[in-house]
Amino acid sequence: MTAKIIDGKAIAAELRARAAGEVARVRREHGLTPGLAVVLVGNDPASEVYVRSKHKQTQDAGMASFEHKLPADVPQAELLALIDRLNRDRNVHGILVQLPLPKSLHTETIINAIDPAKDVDGLHPHNAGRLAGGFAALAPCTPLGCIILSKSVHASLEGMNAIVIGRSNLVGRPLLQLLLNENATVTIAHSRSRDLPALTARADLVYAAVGKPEMVRGDWIKPGATVIDVGINRIPAADGKTRLVGDVAFAEASQIAGAITPVPGGVGQMTVACLLVNTLRAACAIAGVPKPAV
């Protein structure tokens, strides 16, 4: 058996198109143009590529895009002052500070300074707490994308056994909460978990988010399971260059799984699409207009 490949590129394109349609409607009916501000500190090449992609896709969706690039040695007070200005800017409905930040900056302090209503990354304790409590909240984009990809295979996740491998605040923990909201039965595993292969083999849904290249092997997977690979790792290739691989050994797992996301072309595509959706939702909530149909 060969797994169905979950086409994150196509699903993300469809989501972006739906978001763009709602942006046009909101602008037409309410005179509201959602605005996203992205703050990039330093010049990490991977972050720069990602920010450029966000800028283009934000504009393509009909939203306003505001980019703020700061040097790596920016004083923390200066970054906090910028966030304060963006919090008060009525044209900005979403604020995203690109992580990771330089070690000279205290990440928690920076995230806590963002207005929770504009926290489109879903990392502010207010949003994290609401999500944990099962209340409406802005949720982190990558976990949202994971849920959408899962539901492209299964109409409902209710009653399914899911395992989340990785417990980061960016992916693992919020993904646990989103899966609970879908009425799945969830195990969250990590580097200290005992007998990870056996835990994984029980799961109908496998979410790999550990940042270790090809750690999840094919013989860990329950036959027919859906595998969502969040990992993006660069490893040396035979030609001396590097190649991108996920946290799952794709060639092995695709022989056993029922459906699987590729790397690249899977979860990564969904993250920016979900960011647009979060910005649109935030804009509507801040302006007091009805929730968008996306």
Q: 270 CB contacts (<8 Å, ≥6 apart)?
A: 8, 11, 12, 15, 141, 142, 144, 145, 146, 148, 149
Question: Quick check: 140 and 275 in contact, CB under 8 A?
Answer: no
Please work out, in degrees rounded to the nearest 5, the angle formed at the alpha carbon of residue 257 by the alpha carbons of 252 and 263.
Answer: 65
Give the catalytic positions in this structure: 54, 98, 121
Length of the chain: 294
Contact between residue 112 and residue 53 where contact means Cβ atoms under 8 Å apart: no
Judge whether 154 and 226 are in contact, CB under 8 Å. Answer: yes
Find tokens 């699987």 and name the residue. Answer: 260
